[in-house]
Homo-oligomer: A and B are copies of this chain.
Amino acid sequence: MKHELTKEIQGEYSYVIGPYRDPVLTVKSGDTVVAHTVDAFEQKITDESVKPSSIATLPYVNPLVGPIAVEGAEPGDALAVQVISIDPVGPQPRGVTCLQKYFGLLSPTASALSEPFPEIVKMVEVTTEGIVWDEDIVFPYEPFIGTIGTAPKIEAVNSLTPSNHGGNMDLPDVAPGSTIYLPVRADGGLLYLGDVHACQGDGELCGVAIEMPARVEIKVELIKNWTLDWPRLEDENRIMSIGNSKPLEDAVKIAYNDLVHWMVDCYGFDKWDAYFILTQVGRVRIANVVDPLYTAGAWIDKRYLKKGGK
- List A residues at the B interface (Cβ < 8 Å): 15-16, 18, 20, 59, 97, 99, 104-109, 111-115, 117, 120, 122, 131, 133, 135-137, 139, 152-158, 199-210, 243, 246-250, 252-254, 256-258, 260, 271-272, 275-284, 286, 289, 294, 296, 298, 304, 306-309
Q: Could you tell me if A156 and B153 are in contact, using CB atoms closer than 8 angstroms? A: no
Decide yes or no: A306 and B254 within 8 Å by CB, A107-B113, A272-B120, A284-B202 being known contacts.
no
Question: 27 A-B pairs, CB-CB below 8 angstroms?
Answer: A18-B156, A59-B152, A97-B276, A104-B275, A105-B253, A106-B111, A106-B253, A108-B112, A111-B257, A113-B257, A115-B115, A135-B308, A139-B280, A154-B158, A155-B156, A155-B157, A156-B156, A199-B280, A201-B280, A203-B282, A204-B279, A205-B278, A207-B279, A209-B279, A246-B249, A247-B249, A248-B248
> Which residue of A115, A257, A280 has the most chain B CB atoms within 10 A of its CB atom?
A280
Q: A258 CA to B105 CA in the complex, in Å?
A: 13
Task: Give the number of copies in the complex.
Answer: 4
Q: Could you tell me if B256 and A203 are in contact, using CB atoms closer than 8 angstroms? A: yes
Decide yes or no: A205 and B282 within 8 Å by CB, A106-B113, A111-B243, A271-B113 being known contacts.
yes
Determine the chain B residues whose CB is within 8 A of the CB of A309 once the complex forms: 136
Q: Could you tell me if A294 and B154 are in contact, using CB atoms closer than 8 angstroms? A: no
Q: Could you tell me if B137 and A275 are in contact, using CB atoms closer than 8 angstroms? A: no
